[in-house]
Amino acid sequence: MRDPRAVRIPAPAGRAQFSGDAPVVVVVGGGIAGLAAATPLAERGARVVLCERENYLGGRVGGWSTRLADGSEVTMTRGFHAFFRQYYNLRALLRRVDPSGRALTALPDYPLWHASGHRDSFAGLPTAVPRNALAFLRRSPTFRWRDLPDVDARAALSLLDVSVPRVYAELDGMDAAAYLENLRFPRAAHALAFEVFSRSFFAHPSRMSAAELAVMFHIYFLGSSEGLLFDVAADPFPHGLWDPLGRHLAQLGATICTGVEVRSVLPGEEKRFSVTIGSGAVEADAVVLAADVRGLRTVVSASPTLGDATWRGRVSSLRTAPRFLVSRYWLDRPVDADRPGFVGTSGFDLLDNISVLDHYEHEARAWAARTGGSVVELHGYALPSDVDEADARRRLWEQLTEVYPEIKRAEVVDERHELREDCPLFPAGGYADRPGVRTPDDFLVVAGDLARIDLPVALMERAATTGFAAANELLTRWGVAGVDLWSVPVEGRVPVLRSVARRWRTL
């Protein structure tokens, strides 16, 4: 059930389908944003050509086959992803191929553990403000009532009056670390609750916008009624999500090209654009740029006629967050049965979270049942620049054995590691210059979690939302109906609390 206060952005009106000679649309990138853009376009009858650099769909939520030392064929991915209940547009995309919702399964809690021994849980909480916040304060070991007089009430109350896009005018000039200091929350609460959330953007709070942090709290805790619990993929991402969606697109007549790189978008001879794909080219009436930061910058740099100087400058100024490491281990014995499928950690050196895949994923569970082992994955976000991969692997493993001591007795059957640096960075002061979905060319649009859109969305949901929005922009140009967009409320959900917060800010 969707939050009754969720906001619907109605689909652009128009005829139901293209008639006659439908336009050719090239979608550059086969991640969530590209798939979200391609799907409504193909459903309306556009001739979609989707191009993906990797050999698989899904982008940063993709996966590929690998063979372990014991001969098992398994799927490796770039790590754990939480499908929150607030992800309305992503879930709308997935319903195309999973109408019953069986591809996702719920985890019972979002546990947060700090090295000091503090532990927090979100299971069983009311789902909406103010009851959720009061219940959390009542039972949390990190948020103690006697600490509340030290909290900056004005700064804290501002979290109850987040309004998008106004919050960017108010807070984007400040980094999240400074904002957290201004709040004066207890140190344990600061480290556990706030830093864990901010590092979901793959960056230390000192390197990200305070506005993004405030929006994140609005989305996941203070502004919606879905709460902080989430679902995970019941099968490896390709099996249950992206391969079926690729087949859906193919059945609609789309051409799916994986393992090919788009090099440039130039003026066409017969159509508006000529898209260079590998050693060939495709003439297109419109283009969706749904690549990651590096891919977008590369394509735009090689395409001198795209956009204008201001827009090109915005693209070239995009930056990536620091490196992160995903380490997955196939072990010869199980972890303790009561270990959660996922736990967020803070204060454990480089370790940010632990997943026990065989506690929720079918493929990992089958491997564990067959071998008597377990499949454990570690994430280290925002790695310091002076830490190399070997050192990061060692330190993540050492901290794993501190959190789950039973693993000290385990032997590693096999392991895989993914060191990446391709997530977008949202620095303080960057919102105004971030490229949006629209560009100076009516038939060139941008999609992805790197793109600006004036709605309270983040991470995978921002990718899906901008993908749908990009498709809507193009469909509108051709007088064809688009798709509805949804978001959590665009401002604090309790009017009286918003009023109090605004009054405090003016005192």
- What pLDDT digit, counting tens, does each position of 390-437 carry? 999 999 999 999 999 999 999 999 999 999 999 999 999 999 999 999
- Which amino acid makes up residue 16? A
Which whole number is the average pLDDT over 129-133? 85
Percent of the chain with pLDDT over 70: 97
pLDDT recorded at residue 145: 67
pLDDT recorded at residue 130: 82
Q: What is the DSSP letter of 38?
A: H
pLDDT recorded at residue 151: 82
Which whole number is the average pLDDT over 2-29? 95
Report whether pLDDT(303) > 80. Answer: yes
Q: Which of the pair, 97 or 143, is modelled with greater confidence?
A: 97
Which whole number is the average pLDDT over 471-476? 98
Strand ranges (DSSP E) for 68-219?
73-77, 83-84, 104-106, 112-114, 119-120
Which whole number is the average pLDDT over 153-170? 88
- Which amino acid makes up residue 128? A
pLDDT recorded at residue 157: 80
Sign of CA dihedral 488, 490, 494, 497: positive
pLDDT recorded at residue 278: 87
Q: Are 127 and 276 in contact (CB under 8 A)?
A: no
With b meaning 16 or more CB within 10 Å and e meaning fewer, what string describes 149-164? eebeeebbbbbbbbbb
Banded model confidence at residue 149, pLDDT cuts 50, 70, 90:
confident
171: helix, strand or coil:
helix
Report whether pLDDT(503) > 80. Answer: no
Q: Which of the pair, 149 or 13, is modelled with greater confidence?
A: 13
Place of tokens 């299971």: 123
**pLDDT tens digits for range 204-241:** 888 999 999 999 989 998 899 998 899 999 999 999 99
Q: Are strands 286-289 and 24-28 parallel, antiparallel or unpaired?
A: parallel
Least confident of 184-193, 353-362, 397-406, 426-435: 184-193
Report whether pLDDT(313) > 90. Answer: yes
Mean pLDDT for all residues in the chain = 93
Report whether pLDDT(500) > 70. Answer: yes
Task: Name all contacts of 431-436 with Cβ < 8 Å and 24+ positions apart.
Answer: 431/168, 431/172, 431/209, 431/211, 432/168, 432/172, 433/313, 433/314, 433/317, 434/314, 434/318, 435/311, 435/314, 435/315, 435/318
Radius of gyration, alpha carbons of the chain: 23
Report whether pLDDT(195) > 70. Answer: no
Which whole number is the average pLDDT over 58-84? 97
Banded model confidence at residue 346, pLDDT cuts 50, 70, 90:
confident
pLDDT recorded at residue 80: 94
Specify the pTM. 0.96
Percent of the chain with pLDDT over 90: 78
Nearest to 262 by CA among 297, 304, 295: 295
Banded model confidence at residue 247, pLDDT cuts 50, 70, 90:
very high
Q: Which residues contact 197 (CB under 8 A, 6 or more apart)?
A: 213, 216, 217, 220
Which whole number is the average pLDDT over 23-36? 98
pLDDT recorded at residue 263: 97
344: helix, strand or coil:
strand
Banded model confidence at residue 30, pLDDT cuts 50, 70, 90:
very high
Q: Are 195 and 229 in contact (CB under 8 A)?
A: no
